[in-house]
Structure 1
Amino acid sequence: MENIVQHLTQLEEHVKHLESQLFDRPEFQNNTRLDQLRTENDKLNFRANILVRRIEDLKSKQPTKSAVHNSGVNKPSKSNNPHFIMNGELKEDDAYSVCVQNSVQHLLDQAIKLAYPNNQNLPVIITPGKTSDYQCNSAMPIAQKLGQENAESPQNPKQIAQTIVQHIPKHPIIDSVDISGPGFINIHIAPTFVSKQIRKILLNGALPPNINSKNKKVVIDFSSPNIAKEMHVGHLRSTIIGDSIARLLEYLGYNVLRLNHLGDWGTQFGMLIAHLQDKFPEYLHNSPPIHDLLTFYKTSKKRFDDEPDFQKRAYQNVVKLQSYDPDIIHAWQLICEVSRRDFEYIYRELDIRIIDRGESFYQPMMEIVVDELEQKQLLKEEEGRKVWFLPGITVPMTIVKSDGGFTYDTSDMACIKQRLLDEKADWIIYVIDSGQSLHMQSVFAGAKLAGWINETSDVRIDHVGFGVVLGEDGKKLKSRSGEAIRLRDLLDEGLQRSLTKLKEKERDKVLSADELSKAQKSVAYGCIKYADLSKSRTAVYEFSFDKMLDDRGNTAVYMLYAYTRIRSIARNAGIKEETLKQKAAEIDLDFETDQREFKLAKCILRYSDVFVRLLDDLFMHALCEYMYQLATAFTDFYDKCYCIEKDKITGETTINYRRILLCEATANVMKQCFEILGIQPLQRM
């Protein structure tokens, strides 16, 4: 069973990697076939997820259930979350949005249970429909399952579909149901339900779905640069992906602790402090003017390699640091402070909120962890080291080195114990590159073996892995000197290029200096974030400012301009926000009278379904795909549906408030999506 799950997970990641490569090829850009391929791909991914969850459900019923696996620990299935439906009645809360697809799935689940009460584990397969809003594809696998149980009585899928339809509870969310092909059940959403939800978005904003997150604590570990080394492009993905996931979970109501696991302890500080003592002997009384810490680090490293006496003093400083010598601790704090100032600039520019909690925080806990593991007889002596062999993992963890020192393994075990037992986290997320997959598996397996996670625990632990960033030459992104590109330099180049792009469009002639500066940052940082988040995180991606700043296709620039354009419609018509609120509460939002309006309205409502999917797998590119679909649906609507019409004879202007409100609902949802992605949209650009 475990091998099947692992195979399906690897297959899913491989499909997503191929998808990102395929859909980014030039021949698929602006191709009408692309949307059809995406739809088919979504269906395949959805079915694969159902298989994985079904296997996980079966595993959960086995007494030997494993609490830890590669993608998470005791990951909750969607069936554990409320979906607003109980006994066919819509349980709607004004504080939350309705997840339409999940609500439909629960209705069909009820229908199947009522139709076949003696078979409670029959599959419920719901996908977006081709000629309907949703499609239930359960009849065929149910026919196969029932046929296997009773070979003498073959089952007809179409008859099974008819039986299921007869048992669907009447519900305001469903307008009509029909059957096509060999047994596909087509579900059409009721216009009155859609209109009610659009009004809710207009009056209350884009509310989150109710996923039972109240009082649930999440600890998310991301960014994690090393002290004395500048942040470079290698930290970019962890920082952007981690911040976006944190924003998502905060939006959904979780109590999120954002942690920056800084590399602020270890032998390298011995040489840094020794160099500080030589270069700034008055460091205890006067703060040393260290402006370029990277050069400072490189110089101390060269001395460490070339000067035996310096190396000896460096090792002595490490011993003093570990024993908390006051003068050495003061020097260590000075070096850490210089690094933090540089990190804070990056975080401030990218609007990242994070709390520093480096390796030094866990130092006092490491001896306790070692003692505990020894008492539980989990460690073995091997060539002077104390190692830990974990079931199913070929490489052991080194907990104590031959010289008595600790390792990253020791630190990370102390770290996860603190988060589980002291922080009492319900969910722990590590946003670390995919190359650390084996290490993270070891940490998770170790936490289980040590007894910090038990068989009844509902704690979820995820390693959110990601691929490397490539340059336009297809190789790992580096500077001309062959070193990793400084993140500060990358941001500066983005600012320069975005300003050039804005001037090419002559935005400098219509925007004030302050507006132009805000637009410059919005485009620069938005395009860097969106380019990362719009790709499957497990795939490598090519970093190209030219592609990022393209205003065609699924890019930040296109999305930002689309949002600004939508917001300008009511403003240019002279309609105030108070008027829009008043009209939203008063007028009839009957979108059924125009199918293009109705199509856009239903697309708007799908945003809650996307959030439930994101919660399940933490692949943020699904949100970018939804935003692009929404922007495309809006363009199709706006090109054919006039919001403001002027009579050519009388000159009188007629405002179609229903359509204007539909524009505002689109913008409200897009704004919330931008907020989760960490991108700042503008009213004017």
Structure 2
Amino acid sequence: DSLCSLRENEIKALTAEIDRLKNCGYLEASPNLEKLREENLKLKYRLNILRKSLQAERKRPTTNMININSRLQEVFGCAIKAAYPDLDNPPLIVTPSQQPRFGDYQCNSAMGISQMLKTKEQKVNPREIAENITKHLPNNDYIEKVEIAGPGFINIHLRKDFVSEQLTSLLVNGVQLPALGENKKVIVDFSSPNIAKEMHVGHLRSTIIGESMSRLFEFAGYDVLRINHVGDWGTQFGMLIAHLQDKFPDYLTVSPPIGDLQAFYKESKKRFDTEEEFKKRAYQCVVLLQSKTPDIIQAWKLICDVSRQEFNKIYDALDITLIERGESFYQDRMHDVVKEFEDKGFVQVDDGRKIVFVPGCSVPLTIVKSDGGYTYDTSDLAAIKQRLFEEKADMIIYVVDNGQAVHFQTIFAAAQMIGWYDPEVTRVFHAGFGVVLGEDKKKFKTRSGETVRLMDLMEEGLKRSMDKLKEKERDKVLTAEELEAAQTSVAYGCIKYADLSHNRLNDYIFSFDKMLDDRGNTAAYLLYAFTRIRSIARLANIDEEMLQKAARETKIILDHEKEWKLGRCILRFPEILQKILDDLFLHTLCDYVYELAATFTEFYDSCYCVEKDRQTGKILKVNMWRMLLCEAVAVVMAKGFDILGIKPVQRM
């Protein structure tokens, strides 16, 4: 009940904030206006989510992990509201403390409130404000005590029993989030290579980031549709089909052994550029393809299938799940999209092209070319319309490189202009990312200046990871199967983690040496750390069943400062994930898993879990609550790995 009333208070506060932002009329000429508008949209979006989650919250008992930060925000939100009822949307700032002497969390709202009161001609010292807030704190299960420090920081100390109970609940019920995305649908558009061309390193980022985002939303209870918008239509198919007809004239009855599609593409391109007669036939094939002539469609399907088999090898190896919906899927929808823009008076004709000017965007969209053909603008509009109206998506995320930012801003603005969606209700977002650079800080290329094929890169990763394992003489202690499992886990885990651990907006330097280094924030280090944590119980002869029994019967004691630090770090998992659901920056999760592993190492170095006889190595004593802390770290790390798409192994 207290949670529901706290949620209601947060709703009131957010509504007030929205009104305040609406009334910022004097900011018209300010560069902050756009930022404020964006904030306003985010707030409204969050408000809708809160309202829905409040309704759901009333219905269910919880075995989920609690987002401690947001619970503390609710408590302090109530206190501030009670202490300063006349203030319109006062600042609410609660963050984890950076140092133990400042408690576990800090509320830093007093300074902001002092500024607000100053504008109302009331001069109040922030320390007094902090005291007033703490007097109005409602009863709650989370806080042991609060202290006021410095100019008005409120240091919050959590109750040990509360932290201990949460850890027990985590071990008994597993890692579960509150069902944030219940009855909500998210579409993630990612990977999207072109048919008849090989996947290269540029597709790697979109594929890895999109997969990880999809896993996160699935874990938070959303219904996720992962879409691969492949380039499977267009003029290049004319030359490919014409070349297929010449090279394999009986393609309709005998499956043509195309084999190397890349070479096939280059041959047809060369003919297209040099043979006038061939070029004419290629254009005829395009016309026949667009009018869906059966033989030509058959040839088109053959070419797509060869390509698809190549893509699937990569997707299977990297454990990527996608539903293919290429350009061809949207062809029949484009005519209606153009008509709708025409009917609503948004289309202008310019040199025979049909263009649409979108307010706030510098470049117009071209929705019909002068030769009557459609463009990427047309197909992206058709795609967004299909996703909004047929799929009924609550959120659409495009994982496409930064170079497409202006294009997507224009597409989104056009979709809003024509009334397809309201950004306060539906979140449509371009999750852009930087390019992959070589160690020379230039675009990642092969020695001969070609783009790096993804397949070659993955094979190189496997080779290097095996070299590394042999260098550590793991081939002498692991079975052949274990060695192979460790090889793929490290190779693909390192490639994914190196990408995800960088802020996606930045370019990043691809370096096998760095990513396979088992020191520092790398997958190699984390996979070794995880294996070590998992082996502690195994070496103490404690199995899964004993741990489950202990979780129900043993209280987790957090008296040692390193136990306390580790316990709190484990429980920050939900607030980390909530932050990523809001801003879509996955490197935050990598930083957290690394911090968790480092905090575990500190704990393990200071607190014995198993006491052994120095001479015989016989186990004398097992500290069960510390074993449970090890287990809690392992289950949270495992879930973090799962979201990042990394497969840990039990032995390596």
TM-score (norm 1): 0.88
User: Residues 62 and 290 from structure 1, CA distance in 2 versus in 1: closer, same or farther, beyond 3 angstroms?
Assistant: farther
Give 2:544's aligned residue: 577
Q: Residue 243 of structure 1 aligns to a residue in which SS? A: helix
Correspondence for 2:298 among 305, 330, 337: 330
**Structure 1 CA distance, aligned partners of 2:396 and 2:69?**
28
Q: CA deviation at 1:72?
A: 11
Cα gap change, 1:519 to 1:636, in 2 (>3 Å): same
Alpha-carbon distance between aligned partners in 1 of 2:236 and 2:472, rounded to the nearest angstrom = 49
Greater mean deviation of Cα atoms: 67-76 or 338-347: 67-76
- Alpha-carbon contact 1:133-1:189 (below 8 Å) kept: yes
Q: Shift in Å at residue 454 of structure 1?
A: 3.7
| Separation of aligned partners in 2, 1:71 and 1:502 | 49
1:67–1:448 Cα contact (<8 Å) kept: no
The equivalent of 1:178 in structure 2 is 147
Partner AA of 2:542 in structure 1: I
Post-superposition Cα deviations, 1:436-481, rounded to whole Å, max 9, x if no partner, equal 00000011001011111147x5011110000000000110001122
The answer to whether the Cα contact below 8 Å between 1:83 and 1:99 also exists between their aligned partners in 2 is no
Determine whether 1:137 maps to 2:108.
Answer: yes
Deviation of the 1:302 alpha carbon: 0.9
List gaps (5 residues or longer) in structure 2: 1-13
The letter of the residue matching 1:383 is D
Q: Which residue of 2 aligns with 1:349?
A: 317
In the alignment, what sits opposite 2:373? 405
Which of 150, 155, 167 is the equivalent residue of 2:136?
A: 167
8 Å CA contact 2:64–2:173 kept in 1: the answer is: no
> Where does residue 585 of structure 2 map in the other structure?
619
Task: Report deviation, 1:84.
Answer: 13
Task: Answer whether contact 1:502 1:508 (CA < 8 A) is retained.
Answer: yes
The residue identity in structure 2 corresponding to 1:140 is M
Bigger RCO of structures 1 and 2 (CA < 8 A, at least 6 apart): 1
Whether 2:604 is the aligned partner of 1:638: answer: yes
- Does 2:389 align with 1:421? yes
Mapped pair 1:434 → 2:434 = no
* Letter matched to residue 383 of structure 2: C
Question: Conserved in 2, the CA contact under 8 Å of 1:135 and 1:187?
Answer: yes
When residues 582 and 95 of structure 1 are mapped into structure 2, their CA distance, relative to the original with a 3 A threshold, is same
Match of 1:525 in 2: 492
Counterpart CA distance in 2 for 1:263 and 1:505 is 44
Distance 2:384 2:52 in 1: 35
**Pair 370,215 (structure 1): closer, same or farther in 2 beyond 3 Å:** same
Shift of 1:646: 2.6
CA distance in 2, matches of 1:164, 1:398: 57
Which of 593, 597, 600 is matched with 2:566 structurally?
600
Shift of 1:538: 0.2
Matches within 5 A, 1:83-102: 93-102=61-70
Q: Deviations over 1:17-61 (max 9, x none)?
A: xxxxxxxxxxxxxxxxxxxxxxxxxxxxxxxxxxx9998774467
Taking structure 1 as reference, are residues 511 and 77 closer, same or farther at Cα in structure 2, changes over 3 Å only? same
What is the CA-CA distance between 1:359 and the residue it aligns to?
0.4
Write the letter of the residue equivalent to 2:582.
D
Amino acid at match of 1:133: D
Flag the 1:555–1:652 CA change in 2: closer, same or farther, 3 A.
closer
- Of residues 257, 263, 285, the one that matches 2:231 is 263
Secondary structure in 2 matching 1:642: coil
CA distance in 1, matches of 2:40, 2:128: 40
Counterpart Cα distance in 1 of 2:415 and 2:600: 49
Match 1:187 to one of 150, 156, 159: 156
SS in 2 for 1:121: coil
* Residue equivalent to 2:72: 104
Cα 1:220–1:545 shift into 2, 3 Å: same
Quick one: which amino acid aligns to residue 427 of structure 2?
R
- Report the counterpart of residue 25 of structure 1 in structure 2: none
Q: How many Å apart are 1:639 and its aligned residue? A: 0.6
Question: Which SS does the other structure have where 2:354 is aligned?
Answer: strand
The alpha-carbon distance between structure 1 residues 67 and 600, as it changes in their structure 2 partners (threshold 3 A), is closer
Aligned to 1:28: none
> Matched residues in 2 for 1:315 and 1:481: separation?
33
Indicate the residue corresponding to 1:27 in structure 2: none
Whether the 8 Å CA contact 2:17–2:89 is kept in 1: the answer is: no
Q: 1:652 to 1:251 in 2, by over 3 A?
A: closer
Structure 1 residues 75 and 111, CA gap change in structure 2 (3 angstroms): closer
**How many percent of aligned residue pairs carry the same amino acid?**
57
- 2: CA distance, partners of 1:376 / 1:291: 49
1:321 Cα deviation after fit: 0.5
SS in 1 for 2:166: helix
- Corresponding residue of 1:586: 553
Distance in 2 between residues matched to 1:247 and 1:191, nearest whole Å: 32
Contact 2:106 2:156 in 1 (8 A): yes
**2: CA distance, partners of 1:350 / 1:216:** 27
Residues 259, 115 of structure 1: CA spacing in aligned structure 2 closer, same or farther, 3 A cutoff?
same
Q: Deviations over 1:257-290 (max 9, x none)?
A: 0000000000000000000000000001111001
Q: 2:356–2:367: 8 Å Cα contact kept in structure 1? A: yes
CA distance 1:652–1:375, change in 2 (3 Å): closer
The answer to whether the 8 A contact 1:194-1:601 is kept is: yes
Distance 1:652 1:509, change over 3 A: closer
> Are 2:187 and 1:219 equivalent residues in the alignment?
yes
How many aligned residue pairs are there?
627
> What residue number does 2:477 align with?
510
Match in the other structure for 1:684: 651
Distance 2:188 2:60 in 1: 31
1:82 is displaced (CA, Å) by 5.2
Q: In 1, distance between residues paired with 2:628 and 2:349?
A: 70
Query: Partner residue of 2:214?
Result: 246
Work out the CA distance in 2 between the residues paired with 1:84 and 1:135. 28
1:418–1:73 distance in 2 versus 1, CA, 3 Å: farther
State the partner residue of 1:157: 126
Of 491, 499, 502, the match for 1:535: 502
1:95 deviates by 3.6
Q: CA deviation at 1:148?
A: 1.0
1:675 maps to 2:639: no
Cα separation, 2, equivalents of 1:300 and 1:589: 68
1:234 aligns to 2:205 (yes or no): no
Asked whether the 8 Å contact 1:468–1:541 carries over to 2, the reply is: yes
Question: 1:60 and 1:552, CA in 2 relative to 1: closer, same or farther beyond 3 A?
Answer: farther
> Which position in structure 2 is the counterpart of 1:29?
none
Question: Is 2:598 the partner of 1:629?
Answer: no
| Preserved CA contact (<8 Å) 1:379 1:386 | yes
- Of the three residues 117, 128, 143, the one matched with 2:85 is 117
Q: In 1, are the aligned partners of 2:540 and 2:619 still within 8 Å (CA)?
A: no
Q: 1:318 aligns to what?
A: 286
1:590 Cα offset (Å) = 2.1
1:228-275 Cα offsets, whole Å, 9 max, x none, are 001000100000000000000000000000000000000000000000
